Structure 1
Amino acid sequence: MFTIKKPAIIIILVLLLVLTGYINHNLTKQASARVSSDYQNYEESELAKELQSDESLVPALSEDEEMDDFEIIDSESSSSLDDMITETEEEISQAISSEERLISKNYFIEQRLSRDKLRASLIDRLNAIVNNENSSQQMIDEAQKKIMEIGNLSEKELTIEGLIKAKGFEEALVFLTENDAKIVVGKEELTEQDVVKILEIVLSETDLDAENVNIMKKN
């Protein structure tokens, strides 16, 4: 008759306990990750609602003001469209670089929402030009071109943010224009190696020169 010696039984029991502990640890880790992810999504959703209701975040235009802007743009050259876009870009850039906002606990959520909301407002104004019966065909073509350019920049920003976080940075916010880039990362100190990593990503995803890329850390 086959028998298992006592030392062998002890070893088997120890192995079973270790295996059980390992399985429990992984299950707990997975559950915690799901809870953390769900809470983060809930927090971002709630903050988004709060920011959307904050009229001070993005200056609202009255219907009369919007019509005035469109009439002025339509009566001038396409340079007026460039001015409108430049104004929006400067507003986003200033908000992202603001020392007061950089110390905010929810900086990345707030500024990403602010950037996207300002961009959405700009696209709405461009679409209004496209749909305006008084717009010339040249102005319509220019507005549609600008809308496509804004969409392409937004896609690149999302891609670069993902690539930066894949390099080990906890969080990243990217703002691109046709001429420059501004990147803010969530790290207490930026080393030269960190800057090189980020710069390589930006240069590989855009046609910008290194001197036109501004890399910052969140305070």
Structure 2
Amino acid sequence: MMVFKRKQVVVLSLVIMILVAGYLQYSYKKSSEAINDEKENGRLGEAVYVSDEGYISMGDGEDTQGNNLNTNITASQEANNYFAQARLEREITRSKNTDVLNSIAQDASASQETRDNAYLQMIKMVDMAECEMKIESLLEERGFADAIVFFGDNNVDVIVKAPSLTEAQVAQISEIVRRQADVDYTQITVRNKF
């Protein structure tokens, strides 16, 4: 009876992940269609960014140097897809690893040491997942649009959705990771994706 319930939980979690992936794909497709409609129909109340060096008109698709601003929109959409796909792959991998460890931990023919080690690995995975979520939430709270955190054996990789990162932002991100994950600064890698 216990095995049946565990299988139901695994199947249910996979179905939920598939639904989330479908929803994310639908919402990104819908937002890209809205952007395409804006391009075709033009924009009402065209926004203009003014600075000391000149201006950038958001409605004509080109800045004062003639560069195409639409590449930023495409890059941002690619970044959104990257973050959604990376999260989905991370959860699928984690689910598979949990299933393997759970089957080892429940295997009566395995030694007690092997089963204990499997339980410890599952606990470690849960702790890492919680820490990743905390760090991602704190980064979002600090104003970063999106971020994803990956724990390795001796390192933590942080990828933040931003056109660029200043040294102060990298230091802020590194400090959050250091506090939450209790790792040294030398073990933290911060990159941007936009």
Higher share in helix:
1
Equivalent in the alignment of 2:172: 197
Equivalent in the alignment of 2:112: 137
**Residue deviations 1:147-179 (CA, integer Å, cap 9, x gap):** 000000000000000001111100010112352
* Greater than 6 Å deviation, 4+ residue runs: none
Q: Which amino acid in 2 is paired with 1:155?
A: E
Kept in 1, the 8 Å contact 2:149–2:158? The answer is: yes
Mapped partners of 1:49, 1:141: distance in 2 = 40
Mapped partners of 1:134, 1:44: distance in 2 = 37
Q: CA RMSD in A?
A: 2.2
TM score, norm. by length of structure 2: 0.60
Instruction: Name stretches of at least 5 consecutive residues in structure 1 with no aligned partner.
Output: 1-42, 51-101
TM score, norm. by length of structure 1: 0.53
- Report the CA distance between 1:103 and its aligned residue: 4.5
Equivalent in the alignment of 1:46: 22
Q: Which amino acid in 1 is paired with 2:100?
A: R
Instruction: Name stretches of at least 5 consecutive residues in structure 2 with no aligned partner.
Output: 1-18, 27-76
Mapped partners of 2:78, 2:187: distance in 1 = 24
Mapped partners of 2:168, 2:25: distance in 1 = 38
Equivalent in the alignment of 1:154: 129
Mapped partners of 2:80, 2:127: distance in 1 = 29
Kept in 2, the 8 Å contact 1:44–1:109? The answer is: no
Instruction: Describe the shift of the 1:106–1:204 C-alpha distance in structure 2 as closer, same or farther (beyond 3 A).
Output: same
Kept in 2, the 8 Å contact 1:126–1:144? The answer is: yes
Residues 166-181 of structure 1: pairs in structure 2 closer than 5 A: 166-181=141-156
- Equivalenced residues, count: 126
Mapped partners of 2:97, 2:104: distance in 1 = 11
Give the counterpart of 2:97 among 122, 131, 152. 122
Identity of aligned residues (%): 30
